[in-house]
Structure 1
Amino acid sequence: MGINHHYNQNNQPCPNCPTKRLVTWVLCALIPLALLHFYIFPISPTENPPLITETTLENSKPINPLDKEAKPKSQPAQPLCDYFNGNWVKSTIEPLYNGTSCGTIKKGQNCMVHGRPDTGYLYWRWKPENCEIPTFDPALFLQLIKNRHIAFIGDSMARNQLESLLCLLATKSKPELVYRDSEENKFRRWVFKEYNTTVSVFWSPFLVKGFEKSAASGLSHNKLYVDVADEKWASDLHKFDIMIFSIGHWFLHPAIYYEGENVLGCHHCPEFNHTEIGFFGVFQKAISTTLKRVKEELNGSDKLVVVTTFSPAHFEGEWDKAGACPKKEPYKQGEKDMEYMDTEMRKVQIEEVTTVAKEVEAAKGRLRVEALDVTKLAMMRPDGHPGPYMNPNPFAEGKKERVPNDCVHWCMPGPIDSWNEILLEIVKRWSN
């Protein structure tokens, strides 16, 4: 029987023989090729099929290579650190800068250069109850804000925090002042050229439209329009990537409040025929108006909004009397309770931030809104203010009964640097 002839069971000629010959030829050709493939690429008996995981945009975040503590996606997310509750603990870590190495310290906060003799206030670190705050890493912060614009908006406490951050960052890269107004440095802008980063400060002590009391203008009280954001910063919103809002102390001054064209009431205004309404409700409206404006304009963008909570003052007597804030060490946990006013101011800010953050989440917005909760840690640092050293060498000619004291702002370096350590942690989470 030749290979070119096929027979059926009855040895009769096969009508489908050409087709069968073709199939047989193909199989004979493919089988050796398959055997050759598995000889060259053997199957490992221990090889597992690839693991397929289902992720969503809500629960998956890229790991930041700069964050040494970044965790693989498969591990559960770590709970957020509660910075509010904690204690100040002694530290041997030297400040990153001093009164002569940083050129952006406002004179009134340069306690070392102004002759403050004690240095113990420099060697304390804030330790939250259930977590640690890493020491400030200027290189990491600059990398995280590379190609971005960060703006501090508010009163002199916003400026105080801004200048602290500039001093910390200057230990890695020197900022260049590229703009300043002629009005007591209320509006300034710096760039870190190496990182293409811009840092700005905007003077806006109410965040809403307002006119400050001034002898020159004849105003003995502030005028606030609580439903209108201050355009001095609001008109530039689209330029910012990170915004830090910080206000509070200017609301303690006498003021008349407006909503639209109507007078809402006033605070400490016996000479006017207006209803006394205090300032807590107005403070709430100002924060609400601010965050509403930001949310309306930026909810579709990956921006970060931070509200620094109220920082208490520590006057223990008249502001111009010696010993107005004489403490040399922090309060211990439980040694002093927060004052009612400080508690209420913080409460307003936390509630407004929480409300807006939930609204953004419900609308699936990309804006990040957080509180930088410093009220308690600031309250526990009565030793960190310039006091009489807001002016150079106040006791060079001996002790005085009357001397101006600053028990509101913070020495630099000093406790306020801890605020920016926490800010770095917030920026790290946002960047991830």
Structure 2
Amino acid sequence: MGSTTLTTPFKDQTHYSLAKKLLPWTIYAFFPIVIFRLYFYPLQLPQSSRDQFPNTTPIIITSSSTLSLAPPPRFSPPPQLSSHKEEERADETPCDYTSGKWVSDKLGALYNGTTCGTIKDGQNCINHGRPDFDYLYWKWKPKQCELPRFEPNTFLQLIRNKHIAFVGDSMARNQLESLLCMLSTASVPELVYKDGEENKFRRWYFPSHNANVSVYWSPFLVKGIEKSQLGPDYNKLYLDHVDERWAGDLDHINMIVLSIGHWFLHPAVYYEGDLVLGCHYCPGLNLTEIGFYDVLRKALRTTLKTIIERRGSNGNAIDVVVTTFSPSHFEGDWDKAGACPKKKPYNESEKQLEGMDAEMRKIEVEEVNATKDNAKQFAKFRLEALDVTKLSLMRPDGHPGPYMHPFPFANGVTDRVQNDCVHWCLPGPIDTWNEILLQVVKKWEGPSERGG
């Protein structure tokens, strides 16, 4: 009996069922292979298509006959900076600290009136009994960036093994004392030099960083003879010669911060060599009244020119900062009980930079810029304007006012109390000047900033 091959519909159905089950998995397995093939070996487009898509890059055959695979074509929207790139671009763009506003700040000052022994009594508003403290809780907010809080250790590190000198009038001393108080929160300095003339020439030493910080009284920067009770009631300025009381130490100074302005408002006679140029407010002397704007310009020009000649041109590095004019806020005449009673900063719409304040600042900034252009060949001479005029103008609340005297109202309110609406309380808004100074020095000390 011959063998019979039995076929059943169930056997065919079993194969069919198995194939049906395997087909999707086969497709799933094959799909990545297709993607892989297209990714690494893209189809060659016809010439016309490649003309439409010029970014499509073919496989390149190198001289060693190896394949150099170009990245696959991508059709993306126009490139945008990543957040990291945006931060890098922001770091490359210098911050304009002159434009901004004062905003409330809960942190307050780094120091108080008792934590450092360098504050002149007339600016120690806390110790003299000023009852309000709101003036301590503001910070300057530039429009384009943030102004970091002062870092005393960073500043000390930047002036390690250096000598920084503040040269000028009482505003130079005011700024110096602010800096010393902030630095003292990290390292206590030693007073190593003090003259007998109202502490107008002093020097402190930071042994932790082998750094010196000095102040030189020189209200005109150029050679001058100040008015006195025993002599004429006007100053004498010699505009073609610097004051050697500070210039004689230039060889030992690494950074110099210049600050002048207010003393040029006083009566004075001006000289250039033996020639009398004219005067300012000198009735009875039969001299030509020439004001003080051009005189300020000449004095600053002579000063910067001398620094370049003595330090910049011989290859010795020196950094120069010119702190711009700081406006006063007398409401009334300063010598007739004028006061500065406001208790908070101005906003942008309340106060504009104009008149004498604007002109003084303009002259100083122009002279700095002109000198920078003329001294580009001196790689080790760096110069910057510390432009604080506008931000200072907005702070009528930051002056000692009547608290230039200790507890002026202890015996009740009197009809006449002299006010100081020129200098700044310590701590106070002037601390911001040194926050900006720190940013200037940090920028200078960055890589490749100093040539030679």
Q: TM-score, normalised by structure 1?
A: 0.81
**Which residue number corresponds to residue 14 of structure 1?**
none
| SS state at 1:335 partner | coil
**Which residue number corresponds to residue 260 of structure 1?**
273
2:221–2:260: 8 Å Cα contact kept in structure 1?
Answer: yes
2:338–2:418: 8 Å Cα contact kept in structure 1?
Answer: no
**Which residue number corresponds to residue 418 of structure 1?**
432
Residue from 198, 206, 215 that aligns with 2:212: 198
Whole-Å separation in 2 of the counterparts to 1:323 and 1:273: 32
| SS state at 1:194 partner | coil
Matched, 1:335 2:350: yes
**Which residue number corresponds to residue 371 of structure 2?**
356
2:398–2:425: 8 Å Cα contact kept in structure 1?
Answer: yes
1:308–1:374: 8 Å Cα contact kept in structure 2?
Answer: yes
Whole-Å separation in 2 of the counterparts to 1:231 and 1:322: 37
| SS state at 1:195 partner | coil
Whole-Å separation in 1 of the counterparts to 2:103 and 2:316: 39
The code of the aligned residue for 2:331 comes to E
Residue from 246, 267, 270 that aligns with 2:259: 246
Q: Give 1:151-230 correspondences, 5 Å limit.
A: 151-216=165-230, 218-230=231-243
| SS state at 2:98 partner | coil
Whole-Å separation in 1 of the counterparts to 2:185 and 2:224: 37
**Which residue number corresponds to residue 163 of structure 2?**
149
Matched, 1:283 2:296: yes
| SS state at 1:266 partner | strand
Aligned-residue offset at 1:81: 1.1
**Which residue number corresponds to residue 359 of structure 2?**
344
The code of the aligned residue for 1:309 comes to T
CA RMSD of aligned residues (A): 1.9
| SS state at 1:198 partner | strand
Aligned-residue offset at 1:358: 1.2
Whole-Å separation in 1 of the counterparts to 2:124 and 2:89: 45
Residue from 362, 382, 386 that aligns with 1:372: 386
Aligned-residue offset at 1:250: 0.3
**Which residue number corresponds to residue 312 of structure 1?**
327
Whole-Å separation in 1 of the counterparts to 2:379 and 2:293: 29
- Pairs aligned (count): 362
Identity over aligned pairs, percent: 63
1:360–1:366: 8 Å Cα contact kept in structure 2?
Answer: no
Residue from 297, 307, 311 that aligns with 1:294: 307
Aligned-residue offset at 1:323: 6.2
1:265–1:275: 8 Å Cα contact kept in structure 2?
Answer: yes
Whole-Å separation in 1 of the counterparts to 2:364 and 2:335: 31
Aligned-residue offset at 1:132: 1.0
**Which residue number corresponds to residue 83 of structure 1?**
97
The code of the aligned residue for 2:323 comes to T
Whole-Å separation in 1 of the counterparts to 2:334 and 2:163: 37
Mark the runs of 5 or more structure 1 residues left unpaired by the alignment: 1-44, 47-70
Distance 1:249 1:76, change over 3 A: closer
| SS state at 1:209 partner | strand
Whole-Å separation in 2 of the counterparts to 1:312 and 1:127: 19
1:320–1:403: 8 Å Cα contact kept in structure 2?
Answer: no
Aligned-residue offset at 1:314: 0.5
**Which residue number corresponds to residue 391 of structure 1?**
405
Whole-Å separation in 2 of the counterparts to 1:238 and 1:313: 34
**Which of 220-229 and 299-308 deviates more?**
299-308
The code of the aligned residue for 2:430 comes to I
Mark the runs of 5 or more structure 2 residues left unpaired by the alignment: 1-66, 69-84, 447-452
**Which residue number corresponds to residue 136 of structure 1?**
150
Whole-Å separation in 2 of the counterparts to 1:346 and 1:230: 22
Whole-Å separation in 2 of the counterparts to 1:364 and 1:196: 27
Whole-Å separation in 2 of the counterparts to 1:180 and 1:219: 28
1:321–1:401: 8 Å Cα contact kept in structure 2?
Answer: no
Moved over 4 A (4+): 74-77, 320-323
Between structure 1 and structure 2, the one with the greater Rg is: 2
